[in-house]
Structure 1
């Protein structure tokens, strides 16, 4: 399994960048996790849009779905140019039904429901889900291929069950939208310190921080995570390939 960060920001993208999102590849299958602002542009640095096989949306806040419309238009245009009839499945919670219904666009994209505490097979990936603690209904996602697992916390406050959900995974990709001094002041998000605590309690092999704040010194997030977690920690780097293999 190969994981490539396409964007790392929470809320909105900085100049020439994108909000937090990831391209996940295995056995020739290309899965996009979240599709916020700037993501479609970033994606095309690595694959063409018609190579995309599936999309997962963790929730319907704009920084996770803003590029769904452009993605659908790209499918429309490609079908006009290339007679492309491949329908792209977009998996998402359906708690906000107006948003969910818009995921189906003619023959080009098809909305498919993701529910909490369920298991799904998407391409080569076994997918597990758990509801997070966030103002919008949101799902954390675990992907497993041949015994190798990664958890994406998506947007969430600290909650106990996330530790067992992430237990012993090879890679934890955690939101880190807050510095320690902001804990408890902004609902629905974790700090670097809390991400480190999660990694420690779950006994994960490596921690990557994403969904970053737009101010402060980002290396402080790493330092705060290391107060609890003694394993490898880094800020997600756009374009870097993270490999999980037996």
Structure 2
């Protein structure tokens, strides 16, 4: 099965000069057509998504949590699907935390009823979900709001996306044996970091080593940090294949 992951946006906390905020496009062939899902749609990412796929050809969206850098471009996506010159587009499923419909309606100053429910069919993270060739599993991770790591299996390949999290066993367990761990590295070692919020590069490496993943890709590094520092920190705890996510990066699965 042909499948690939494209990094649409990977900047941490807010868009940076080289990348929009978090958004990852997964594509795979099945039954003679290409299925596409998005993991997050953070601020600035919808515009960049046009470079890699027609946003109207996306089959489903999975939101790790409801901070702006992971979900706010759903507002623009709502406008695109509601007011497109070819007419209103069919609803597509959106999975996220419990308050996803309300959060997005408030973000666009819409009445809660109907909010965006005429454009998106909202579901709460829970049981594994199948979309075409993709099976998506979620687990709650450590963050100040309801936040989830996502595991995507396509064929015999598995990708785990940390979303935003502090160190937690749930992420390590979800990532066990994954081919690829896409892991946020927002914090730096050697400073006092707030607890239960984000990971350092070395903590990403420890998670990858304990989970026995095939490849570690660091992402969600804020523009105020040097990504090479995160890379060097990860190398202190992880000896396997290691890369930095950059906007436009394509990983064949």
- 1:104–1:111 Cα contact (<8 Å) kept: no
Q: Which runs of 5+ in 1 are unaligned?
A: none
Give the match for residue 40 of structure 2.
34
From the superposition, tell whether residues 191 and 75 of structure 1 become closer, same or farther in structure 2 (CA, over 3 Å).
same
Moved more, 121-130 or 84-93: 84-93
Which of 99, 124, 131 pairs up with 1:113? 124
Q: TM-score, normalised by structure 1?
A: 0.91
- 2:166–2:195 Cα contact (<8 Å) kept: no
- 1:138–1:154 Cα contact (<8 Å) kept: yes
Residues 162-213 of structure 1: per-residue CA shift (max 9 Å, x gap): 2121111000000000111236435410000000000111111100011112
From the superposition, tell whether residues 100 and 122 of structure 1 become closer, same or farther in structure 2 (CA, over 3 Å).
farther
Distance 1:191 1:131 in 2: 19
**Aligned pairs, how many?**
240
Q: Which runs of 5+ in 2 are unaligned?
A: 106-111
Distance 2:63 2:238 in 1: 28
- 1:183–1:190 Cα contact (<8 Å) kept: no
- 2:180–2:216 Cα contact (<8 Å) kept: yes
Give the match for residue 155 of structure 1.
164
Q: Is 1:69 aligned with 2:54?
A: no
Q: Is 1:140 aligned with 2:142?
A: no
From the superposition, tell whether residues 192 and 183 of structure 1 become closer, same or farther in structure 2 (CA, over 3 Å).
farther
Q: TM-score, normalised by structure 2?
A: 0.89
- 1:193–1:224 Cα contact (<8 Å) kept: yes
Q: Secondary structure at the match of 1:204?
A: coil
Moved more, 212-221 or 230-239: 212-221
Give the match for residue 167 of structure 1.
176
Distance 2:223 2:190 in 1: 15
Give the match for residue 57 of structure 2.
51
Residues 74-121 of structure 1: per-residue CA shift (max 9 Å, x gap): 01122xx21354212111111566226769625322212212xx3111
- 2:185–2:218 Cα contact (<8 Å) kept: yes
- 1:183–1:191 Cα contact (<8 Å) kept: no
